[in-house]
Structure 1
Amino acid sequence: MTSRFLATITIGAAVIGLAGAGLASGQINGGFPDPGRKHHQRSNCHGAYDLLAKREAGGARLTDAEEDFAEAYEANAAARQPCPAPPDALLAQATNRDVVTQEAFYQLTQYVQQGDAAAHYELALATLNGRVPDVDASLGIATLAEAARLGDPSANYLVGVLRMQPSGLGPQNPAKALEHLEAAAKTEHVDALFMLGLIHAEGIGTKKDAKKALEYFKQAAERGHVHATFSAADLVNRGAGVKADYGLAYRLGRNLVDQGEVVGAVIAASALLQRKDVKKHQNEILHWMAFAETHGDAKIKGDMARFRPQVVSIFDRMNAPPAYRPTERRVCPQRKVCYVDRTTGARNSCHTYTDYWNDCNTTY
């Protein structure tokens, strides 16, 4: 986790698409999780209506529920009423959809006029991405700022990202960025939660606070953010500003493996290697190291090829029976015994011997 991750996210933010992206089923990422990958799922009535307008233009027949929603959407726009709720199935189909049809743009402007936060954001995004002809980008910036003021989560996130660097919103302003990201995080915008974790971990625009960073990473990870899971695991595995927790690091590593991230195997093995009962986990440690070496990218393969033999050697020494060593002997004292003539008292013969009778010949 370094500031280069933050740079990856912020560069080109004015025209970013906020669609969620994930690994295809069964796909494995052999490197580190992409810090720029977006996880927030955006869905609203405007994208749903645009999808229906696109279908109708293509000659598709709408269901009764879709017809009812489209009519209500248009009627509410004309009457300056809040946007109606789309059918659940339609809302799911329109997740992360950008508005592209002229019919939807016409209706969208009417919702903008009544202070609809999501409508402001959709119009701003379309303008910034050049989908609204003959409209200057400055109007898109102003509309985006208004969407953020009105409380749209995606708008607050994007404004927060833009404020981390010079942009159409003005010069770099980390304090303002923090303010907007916190507003988005309060609505559980998962990418904002992750970004706040990075900011506090790196001390960008605020003092470094690993505990606060870990709490943001935890919240983002619980909502499916892959790099937040990695960042949290890395912090607790290294004990970097927070208490080391190898059990938690191991669980987070396993979670990453389940999400198709090879780096999770590296974290799981590292966490188990640091436990006091490491010998108990030797088979699993070697399994995860082999998994990482098999499925990892060139860097991870190289690291595992270098470290795994060392770990195997350590376990071999731990498992080998101890070599036999004779018990160390102490130097026993020498005793001298002489024969004494009882009549004359003279010493006639003497014998020197080692005193084996006392406890001097072994070490315990």
Structure 2
Amino acid sequence: MDGEHITLGFERGRPARRMPSHRLVLLILLMGSLLVVLFAYWDVMMLTAGAVPMARNTNSIGSAELGNETVAEKLHREVRILCWVLTTPKYHKTRAIHVLRTWGKRCNKIYFMTSEPDDELPTVVLTKPDRYEVLWGKTKEAFTHIHEQMSDEADWFIKADDDTYVFLENLRYMLYPYSPNMSIYFGFNYKMVGTHQKNESYMSGGSGYVLSREALRIFAEGLNDTAKCRQEDDHAEDVEMGKCLFNLGVKAGDSRDEQLRNRFYPVVPYGALLSGNVGMDFWLYKYAYYNARACMDCLSEYPVAFHYVNNEQLYVYEYFNYQFQHSGRLQVEEQLPKKIREEDLVIPESDNPVT
């Protein structure tokens, strides 16, 4: 008999079939390798599941259309954001540098608007003095400089403070349905106080606001209109920005998610999530354009920005959002929302009756 064989079994009426032993060993090795590969694949998927935040939206572009790109990579390429951070020399080393080392590195471009240059920061030196009273003047100067020198570097332009934290991936995802050619801007929307026109509002300067390329152009070219924009440099920057943009015809967009939960927030997360943390006379509840309440389900699970974040907290946010993982997290399919045509854009009116 040529070679050693192993009998596998018998079938009635037929002689036993035999397989050469070396082939049986190869078959066992092949099956074992396949099991190892499948187990490893399952293990990796479980560990990395949910790492990219995406919406659960049926009217969306599926991952099959992304090719080899991730959703975050596609958004970084297609939704270009220039970030500019308002700061002063005394906060360069205690605030601004930490912004640059955390969320700022995810901007397509980032600049720090200040009164003195700094070798560690990409600074733009403004002529206005470092005083709170002239923030409106500094904001006008900063946006004008960006329009004149940098408007081709991005599609959207966000202003933030040096104690703001911005999730750029979620901001790009929120902006994706909108064309930068729309005259629109987004942020946490406040009701205008005192005498004002119907539906007039403004965005919180603390949690930041983002202008489309077209909104930036309209603002920069129209801010010298004395009938529409305050010419003096004093007064509250975000209020005057809201008045000016409203008078120039720039739409104040609704930045809430599909469940009407806020994505921009002018306070830190615990102020939004802890019910009963403050009374109903809290300024945030009184002035929010859309009904805002402290509760565990009122804040979007894909937030864009928070305010009053100190430099230590910046790194805590970094860890828990870009390094922290837990086993058993479910995989979320990567999707992008449907584009919105300007003629189909609907912005809800205020629903907050608190005064």
Q: Higher strand share goes to which structure?
A: 2
Could you state the TM-score of these two structures normalised by the residue count of structure 2?
0.21
Greater CA radius of gyration, 1 or 2? 1
